[in-house]
Amino acid sequence: MAFYQAGTSAGALIGPLLFTAEQAPEYHPAIGGVLGVFVAMMVLLGVQIANLMWLNKKQEKRRIANGKSGVIVDRSMTTNVNVDSKTQEAEVLGERAEVLDLTDKENDEFVYVY
């Protein structure tokens, strides 16, 4: 939320500097600047998704090294009520881990959602 507020404030400050009267009526440099920011945002979104996927794979390797199932299903993000034995086991493990006050790095059952 803080990044959103900072981005909004930065945009409010930079916007009038990009769109100047000398560029009217086409505003080509300003539109190019705005387009550049949108492209950079999409690239950063892709980088963040790749980072979360990598962190999930890293957590999966930690779970396997600790003798647990590598796959954990986060039922809080699904509406499916049919549960198989693998999911029930993961859910029970998750409930025990919820009680402990662990960070995402300490809890090997933590799954990043993207």
Q: What is the pLDDT along the chain (114 residues), one digit of tens a residue?
A: 798 999 899 989 999 999 999 999 999 999 999 999 999 999 999 999 999 999 999 999 999 999 998 988 766 666 555 555 555 554 444 456 667 788 988 988 888 888
Query: What is the C-alpha separation between 54 and 36, in angstroms, rounded?
Result: 27
Residue 86 lies in a domain: yes
Residue 16 lies in a domain: yes
Asked whether the whole model's pTM tops 0.75, one would answer: no
Residue 110 lies in a domain: no
pLDDT attached to residue 97? 61
Question: How many domains does one find in the chain?
Answer: 1
- Domain with 53 in it: 2-99
H/E segment holding residue 4:
helix 2-18
pLDDT attached to residue 59? 94
Query: What is the C-alpha separation between 91 and 75, in angstroms, rounded?
Result: 8
Contacting residues for 74 by C-beta, under 8 A, at least 6 apart: 94, 111, 113
pLDDT attached to residue 95? 53
